[in-house]
């Protein structure tokens, strides 16, 4: 059983990767808004770092995709009353929920 657990942990570590996404956040009006969003993002299992800026209306989130999905990040923003939309910089398209 220990060997199986060790094997599973190693497998997850090999295939998991850290990702960073940028999310356009609508509805922020004050510094308390950014703190609320950041706090809720950081509560999510798998989020490594979250930065939210009022002046750009943007959240930058670094996360472990083995523990949380990108869609769950949007849901965490929506839980506190805001709307999030992924910004895909490579081809300048947006992906929203």
Residue 15: which pLDDT band, with cuts at 50, 70 and 90?
low
Asked if residue 40 has pLDDT above 50, the reply is yes
Rounded to whole angstroms, the Cα distance separating 31 from 91 reads 31
Contact yes or no for 47/65 (Cβ under 8 A): no
- pLDDT score at 59: 98
**Residue predicted with more confidence, 86 or 7:** 86
**Mean pLDDT on 29-51:** 97
Architecture of domain 17-96: 2-Layer Sandwich (3.30)
Q: What is the pTM for the complete model shown? A: 0.76
Whether pLDDT at 97 is above 60:
no
């Amino acid at each position: 059983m220990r060997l199986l657990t060790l094997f599973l942990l190693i497998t997850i570590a090999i295939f998991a990767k850290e990702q960073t996404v940028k999310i356009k956040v609508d509805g922020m009006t004050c510094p308390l808004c950014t703190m609320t969003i950041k706090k809720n993002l950081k509560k999510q299992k798998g989020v490594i770092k979250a930065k939210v800026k009022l002046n750009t209306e943007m959240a930058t989130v670094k996360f472990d995709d083995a523990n949380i999905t990108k869609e769950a990040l949007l849901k965490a923003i929506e839980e506190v009353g805001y709307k999030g939309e992924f910004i895909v910089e490579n081809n300048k398209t947006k992906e929203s929920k």
